[in-house]
Amino acid sequence: MIYLLIILVKTFEVSLSTLRIKLVTKGQRVYGALVGFFEIIIWVLVISTVLTDIQSDPWKILAYAIGYSLGNFMGVTVEEWIGLGSTKIEVILPQNQTEKIVKEIRSMGFGVTVVEGEGKDEKRNILLVILPRKSVDKVRRILENTQAFVTITDIKPVYGGYGAIKK
């Protein structure tokens, strides 16, 4: 029973750690600090349980390691589900596909900047879209059956522009 408790609590603690790191890197320091406060309380409780009488019960180390591994997996999974932050999608399209795609993305409420470019064999358009990370799949679905070259990048908080975060 103690092993299962160690696994569960360690999994939760490491998941919080992953969330804290994402919050801090996204510029949400206050929330990151608050999560860190609870994270360290849980860590102290778990590690003191594992270290108590560890010589006679080394299985606690295995339970701790399993919890740590599961916590990494769960933390990333939960963070992806929450979808913190903003994303930049760059789309390079043949010019004949641009108008339809831009119209669809804008109809979803996202701003699109169109830049003319030149590819190896023909003129292209480069679309720049800044949107909440949670919305990336919506735009990705629009681009699935096109000849688009797409890159997706997580970015820091956005200031200025259409639909931007106001601070």
pTM above 0.85, yes or no: no
Domain boundary among 82, 100, 135: 82
Residue 135 resides in a domain: yes
- C-beta separation of 145 from 104 below 8 A: no
Are 75 and 97 contained in the same domain?
no
What's the rounded Cα separation, in Å, for the pair 31 and 19? 10
Are 107 and 69 contained in the same domain?
no
Residue 78 resides in a domain: yes
Task: Assign 3-class secondary structure to the chain.
Answer: CHHHHHHHHHHHHHHHHHHHHHHHHCCCHHHHHHHHHHHHHHHHHHHHHHHCCCCCCCHHHHHHHHHHHHHHHHHHHHHHHHCCCEEEEEEEEEHHHHHHHHHHHHHCCCCEEEEEEECCCCEEEEEEEEEEHHHHHHHHHHHCCCCCEEEEEEECCCCCCCCCCCC
Are 6 and 60 contained in the same domain?
yes
Task: Give the per-residue pLDDT at 154.
Answer: 86
Q: Name the domain count of the chain.
A: 2
Are 73 and 140 contained in the same domain?
no
Are 10 and 22 contained in the same domain?
yes
Are 97 and 47 contained in the same domain?
no
Are 135 and 149 contained in the same domain?
yes
The residue range of the domain holding 16 is 2-82
- C-beta separation of 114 from 106 below 8 A: no
pLDDT per residue, tens digit, the chain (167 aa), is 999 999 999 999 999 999 999 888 878 899 999 999 999 999 999 999 999 988 889 999 999 999 999 999 999 888 888 877 888 999 999 999 999 999 999 999 999 999 999 888 889 999 999 998 889 999 999 998 888 999 999 887 667 666 655 55
Residue 90 resides in a domain: yes
